[in-house]
Every structure is written in structure tokens, then in C-alpha cells.
């Protein structure tokens, strides 16, 4: 399943070197980051409070967990924080330490990478193109019943397919996994962008199940990848205790801990982002659905996956065309089950989206 390396949304220096384009001039359609930039309220408050770095953060992150709890309507006791969701993915791979893991994919590569590093054997449960990359719940159940997996990984909404699984389906999966003693890791990095968020978030299921953990972060929705703030929600006491006792102390720095108590209160910014994204999800899907050059898949996150139908084009040539116009898109060739027939791009501001759309339609 190993594929060749593609440029990641954070590879701007590499792009600068290879294509001679200054990184400041690149419009990054590959990083999946909110184009509105950081929350104005957080910017203002951070500027006034930089001296928070003069002290160690509270080791228990009480205020931060309380703010996250309010934002997610969830008991702060079930919340733990980390250095981006990346640290939490890595900790889960170490602590759950699955002998066998099932990853629903094509998806984000870090799950497989981290589980592999901790010695786990990985199987991918394929989201099929013939089913528009939607989860086939019957086949997933058959797979979970036929082989014992210690861990199931679901990215919801999924990167790069942008599809979502609703809470009722998740609860069926949790029930089945409970019977089979399978722990579920759900990555909700892109959840707040979805119009179906209310019906898809896993946090309310913590009241019924303790065999799952939700991972989230502020890198994408709150446009703060440099802050490195992530959090996890689980009711699993044993796992929470293990994280508390074995995670490095102060893995979230004071600036991030402070920012996290402010940004969730910026309701105007949150509302503006959601409204804009919901509109772009529909608008851009409809544009590509009408084109005979591409097949579009419904977008539930802030990005869309396209299949290239025009045989004269491929992901490599479109990547080059886009980058020569200072637009960086994602060539999906490196994702398992995808190929150089697929590209992904995220939604930036309306004007830039229109320029990229026109470039792709006229390629």
C-alpha cells in the first residue's frame, strides 16, 4: 500500500525551491486551513497576554479543559490536551498498542505511520470509489466480525474524501466494537466545517460508550497550525489515567493554553466561518458536478476531492498548472486506494476559489 511522496500542505519551502515561487506568494489550497485566518478576539487577547510565557502552564490545564468542555458540550473530566492532534494520535498508538488495527481509508497517513511505529499490523478498510467513498456499514461489520481488531480508526469527516458518518451509524459501530473489544479512534479535525456537525459529533456518545476517543485540534478550523493545540475526549478512565501519568508534562505551552481559553468564545468568527464554508461546499460541488472533466464527491469538510475524468489530464499535470499560477493543490496519488486521477483542494476566499476553479475547468 506504500505510495510515492507528494507535497504536503506544509511543504512550502520545498515548493519554493523546486518551482522558484516565493512561499509568501503561494495560495495554499493544500493545507486545509480556514482562509479567514486566526480569530480576531484571540489575536487581540494574545497580544495583551504574551507574558503568560513567564510561567509554566497549569499542569492539569483546568481552565483550558473547562473552555473546551463548554465548546464541545462535554464534561471537562473527559478531556485531555496535547501538542496538536498529532501528539494524541501518537500517544493512542502507543497506549492502545494494537496488534491489529483497521483503518478506514483512503485517509490521513499519520494513523498508519504511528500504529506501524508501535509495531501494529495495519489493514485498510476500503471506502470504494464505486460507492462514492461512502462507508459501507454492512461490509465494515462483516470485516469486524470476521477478524479481531484491537483498534478501529475513523477520520470524520474524512481527509481526503470529505465524507461524513452520522452519529446513529457511529453508535452502531461502537456497540459492535464493544462486543468485540475493539477500541475506536475518531479524528474530528474537520468536524466544525460540516453542515451536519450536530448529527455527526461523537462527544454525546461518551455517555453511552467508553470504547472510543475523539481527537480534535485547532489547526484547521481556527487557522492555528503553529499553535500546536489538540484535545481528546473519552470516558475511558484507564486511558485517561494512562495519558495523565505518561504524557510529557506541559506538552501544551502557555500561549496555546491561553489561546484555547479565548478562541472558542469568538462566536462571530465561528459563525462566519461556518456560513462561508457551508456555502462553498455546495457551490463548488455543484460547479464540478456539472463538468464532464471531473467527478466531484460531496464535500462535508472545508475541501473537496475530485476525480479527473479527462484522459489528457492527471494530478501531476494539474498540480504543475496550479503551482505555476501560485496555487498549491494536493495531488492525491500518495493516498492508499487513490491514484494520479485524484486531486483535493480546500476552500480559500471566494475570489481565489473562483480563479482556481476556472483554471481547473479550462485545463
Ligand X SMILES: Cc1ncc(COP(=O)(O)O)c(C=O)c1O
Kindly list the residues in this chain that would bind ligand X in the complex (CB under 6 A). 84-86, 108, 155, 159, 187, 189, 217, 219, 225, 230
Residue 308 · residue 319 · CB < 8 Å: no
* CB atoms inside a 10 Å sphere around CB 56: 11
In the bound state with ligand X, the residue whose beta carbon lies nearer, of 189 and 334, is 189
Strands (DSSP E) contained in 84-168 are 100-105, 121-126, 151-155
What's the closest the beta carbon of residue 8 comes to ligand X, in angstroms?
8
103/287 with CB nearer ligand X: 103
CB atoms < 10 A from the CB of 249, how many? 7
Least distance to ligand X from the beta carbon of 225, Å? 5
Q: How far is the CB of 303 from ligand X (least distance, A)?
A: 9
State residue 305 phi and psi, 5-degree precision.
Answer: -100, 135
Longest C-alpha distance within the chain, in Å?
Answer: 59
What would the grid cell of residue 47 be?
A: 497580544
Task: Give the span between the Cα atoms of 250 and 288, in whole angstroms.
Answer: 46
Among 295, 325, 328, CA closest to 313? 295
Q: Which is nearer to ligand X, 163 or 230 (CB)?
A: 230
**Cα–Cα distance for residue pair 273/2, rounded to 1 Å:** 35
Least gap, CB of 311 to ligand X (angstroms): 30
Q: Nearest-CA neighbor of 173 among 187, 152, 190, 204?
A: 152
Q: How far is the CB of 217 from ligand X (least distance, A)?
A: 3
Least separation in angstroms between residue 9's CB and ligand X is 7
Residue closer to ligand X by CB (options 189, 353) is 189
CB of 183 to ligand X, least distance (A): 18
Of 91 and 322, the one with the shorter C-beta distance to ligand X is 91
> In terms of CB distance, is 79 or 313 closer to ligand X?
79
What are φ and ψ of residue 344, in 5° steps?
Answer: -130, 140
Measured CA to CA, the distance from residue 292 to residue 308 in angstroms comes to: 9
CB of 179 to ligand X, least distance (A): 28
- The CA radius of gyration of the chain, in Å to the nearest whole number, is 20
Q: Which of 158, 160, 223 is nearest to 188 (CA)?
A: 158
Identity of the residue, 80 or 287, whose beta carbon is nearer to ligand X in the bound complex: 80
Nearer to ligand X, 156 or 298 (CB): 156
Class of residue 111 by CB neighbours under 10 A (exposed 0-12, middle 13-18, buried 19+) = buried
What does the alpha-carbon distance between residue 254 and residue 5 come to, in Å, rounded to a whole number? 35
Nearer to ligand X, 86 or 118 (CB): 86
If the CB atoms of residues 185 and 308 are measured against ligand X, the closer one turns out to be: 185
Which of these, 87, 117, 122, 88, lies nearest to 107 by C-alpha position?
A: 122
CB of 223 to ligand X, least distance (A): 11
Using CA atoms of 11, 17, 18, 22 in order, give the dihedral in degrees to the nearest 10: 80
- Shortest CB 214 distance to ligand X, Å: 12
Instruction: Tell me the three cell numbers of residue 170.
Output: 457511529
**Contact yes or no for 201/215 (Cβ under 8 A):** no
Amino acid at each position: 500500500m506504500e505510495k510515492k511522496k507528494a507535497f504536503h500542505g506544509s511543504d512550502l519551502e520545498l515548493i519554493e525551491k523546486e518551482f522558484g515561487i516565493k512561499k509568501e506568494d503561494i495560495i495554499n489550497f493544500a493545507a486545509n486551513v480556514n482562509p479567514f485566518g486566526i480569530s480576531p478576539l484571540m489575536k487581540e487577547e494574545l497580544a495583551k497576554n504574551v507574558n503568560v510565557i513567564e510561567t509554566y502552564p497549569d499542569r492539569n490545564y483546568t481552565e483550558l479543559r473547562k473552555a473546551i468542555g463548554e465548546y464541545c458540550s462535554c464534561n471537562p473530566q473527559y478531556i485531555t490536551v496535547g501538542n496538536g492532534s498529532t501528539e494524541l494520535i501518537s500517544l493512542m498508538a502507543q497506549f492502545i498498542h494494537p496488534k491489529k488495527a483497521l483503518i478506514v481509508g483512503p485517509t490521513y497517513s499519520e494513523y498508519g505511520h504511528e500504529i506501524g511505529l508501535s509495531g501494529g499490523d495495519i489493514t485498510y478498510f476500503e471506502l470504494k470509489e464505486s460507492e462514492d467513498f461512502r462507508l459501507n456499514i454492512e461490509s465494515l461489520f462483516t470485516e469486524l466480525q470476521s477478524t479481531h481488531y484491537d483498534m478501529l480508526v475513523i477520520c470524520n469527516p474524512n481527509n481526503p474524501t470529505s465524507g461524513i458518518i452520522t452519529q446513529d451509524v457511529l453508535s452502531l459501530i461502537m456497540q459492535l466494537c464493544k462486543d468485540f473489544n475493539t477500541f475506536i479512534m475518531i479524528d474530528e479535525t474537520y468536524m466544525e466545517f460540516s453542515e451536519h456537525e450536530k448529527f455527526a459529533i461523537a462527544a454525546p456518545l461518551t455517555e453511552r460508550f467508553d470504547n472510543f476517543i475523539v481527537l480534535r485540534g485547532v489547526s484547521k478550523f481556527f487557522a492555528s497550525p503553529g499553535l500546536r493545540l489538540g484535545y481528546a475526549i473519552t470516558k475511558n478512565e484507564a486511558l485517561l489515567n494512562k495519558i495523565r501519568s505518561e504524557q510529557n508534562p506541559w506538552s501544551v505551552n502557555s500561549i496555546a493554553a491561553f489561546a484555547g481559553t479565548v478562541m472558542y468564545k469568538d462566536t462571530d468568527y465561528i459563525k462566519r466561518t461556518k456560513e462561508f464554508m457551508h456555502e462553498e461546499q455546495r457551490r463548488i460541488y455543484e460547479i464540478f458536478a456539472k463538468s464532464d472533466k471531473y467527478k466531484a464527491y460531496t464535500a462535508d469538510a472545508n475541501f473537496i476531492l475530485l476525480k479527473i475524468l479527462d484522459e489528457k489530464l492527471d494530478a501531476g499535470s494539474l498540480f504543475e498548472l496550479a503551482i505555476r499560477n501560485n496555487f498549491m493543490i494536493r495531488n492525491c496519488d500518495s493516498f492508499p486506494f487513490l491514484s494520479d486521477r485524484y486531486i483535493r483542494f480546500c476552500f480559500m476566499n471566494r475570489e481565489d476559489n473562483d480563479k482556481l476553479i476556472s483554471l481547473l475547468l479550462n485545463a
